[in-house]
């Protein structure tokens, strides 16, 4: 009986430690955007500082520098699974991965710097039920994205395939943000689907000019 209890407690401790090892946090950073890795046009659109996502051991998963301002529709109302008021192809910011990671489809994202642009999931049979929303961030290798203006659908998805090295763009899901009044950036753990998302804000131009809080899934992917 004592042996069984000891083994049970040991297994519980191991499971708890494993769960803790998988925890993530978000921290502001004063590090300037990586201007040597992005185009001057993109660099002009970014704020002076950003934040980073770190593991429980303090290792950096990625750093994110949001754009200074996001253009939003003045009369936007959420509908049809679209919860964010951005323009298709708009520059959301830049992300630099310190190590290999994965996107929302489970595709590999190599260490490096990428632009983040707003995209919408196609409304077809291949994508039904894969996400709560149609809102996504589409990643493009920074070296292949030199312009600041929004990209059209075809070039956006085409250039993003260079990030995934597959026939599908590299994408990060955007979920409805909550927790109004809480300090940003902050991590949100969606335990049922084992997703980790980071909430952060950007200044809006257009609309009522209020900051927009977004929730971006940075760890975890949709089941196959």
Residue 139 has pLDDT above 90, yes or no: yes
* pLDDT grade for 207, boundaries at 50, 70 and 90: low
Per-residue confidence (pLDDT) for residue 205, from 0 to 100: 86
Per-residue confidence (pLDDT) for residue 2, from 0 to 100: 42
Write down the pTM of the prediction: 0.86
Q: pLDDT averaged over the chain?
A: 86
If one compares 130 and 193, the residue with the highest pLDDT of the two is 193
Q: What is the mean pLDDT of residues 162-183?
A: 90
Q: Which two tokens stand for residue 73?
A: 């529709």
Q: Which distant-in-sequence residues (6+ apart) come within 8 Å of 190 by Cβ?
A: 175, 196, 197, 220
pLDDT tens digits, one per residue of 93-133: 999 999 999 999 999 999 999 999 999 987 654 445 556 89
Residue 211 has pLDDT above 90, yes or no: no
Q: How far is CA 155 from the centre of its chain?
A: 20
Instruction: Evaluate whether 138 touches 116 at the Cβ level (below 8 Å).
Output: yes
In whole angstroms, what is the distance from residue 20 CA to residue 49 CA?
A: 28
Main-chain phi, psi angles of 34, to 5 degrees: -75, 75
Per-residue confidence (pLDDT) for residue 182, from 0 to 100: 79
Residue 215 has pLDDT above 50, yes or no: yes
Residue 135 has pLDDT above 90, yes or no: yes
pLDDT tens digits, one per residue of 32-83: 999 999 999 999 999 998 999 999 999 999 999 999 999 998 888 888 799 9
């Amino acid at each position: 009986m004592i042996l069984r209890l000891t083994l049970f407690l040991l297994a519980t401790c191991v499971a708890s430690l494993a769960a803790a090892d998988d925890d993530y946090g978000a921290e502001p950073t004063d590090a300037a955007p990586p201007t040597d890795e992005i185009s001057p046009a993109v660099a002009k659109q970014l704020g002076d500082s950003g934040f980073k996502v770190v593991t429980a051991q303090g290792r950096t998963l990625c750093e994110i520098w949001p754009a200074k301002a996001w253009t939003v529709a003045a009369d936007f109302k959420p509908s049809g699974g679209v919860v964010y008021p951005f323009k298709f192809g708009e520059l959301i910011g830049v992300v630099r991965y310190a190590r290999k990671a994965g996107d929302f489809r489970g595709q590999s994202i190599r260490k490096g710097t990428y632009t983040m642009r707003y995209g919408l999931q196609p409304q077809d049979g291949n994508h039904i039920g894969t996400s709560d929303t149609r809102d996504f961030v589409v990643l493009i290798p920074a070296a292949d994205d030199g312009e600041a203006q929004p990209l059209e659908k075809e070039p956006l998805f085409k250039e993003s395939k260079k990030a995934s090295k597959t026939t599908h763009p590299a994408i990060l899901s955007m979920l409805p943000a909550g927790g109004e009044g809480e300090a940003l950036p902050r991590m949100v753990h969606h335990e049922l689907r084992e997703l980790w998302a980071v909430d952060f804000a950007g200044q809006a131009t257009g609309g009522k000019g209020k900051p927009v809080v977004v929730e971006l899934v940075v760890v975890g992917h949709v089941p196959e």
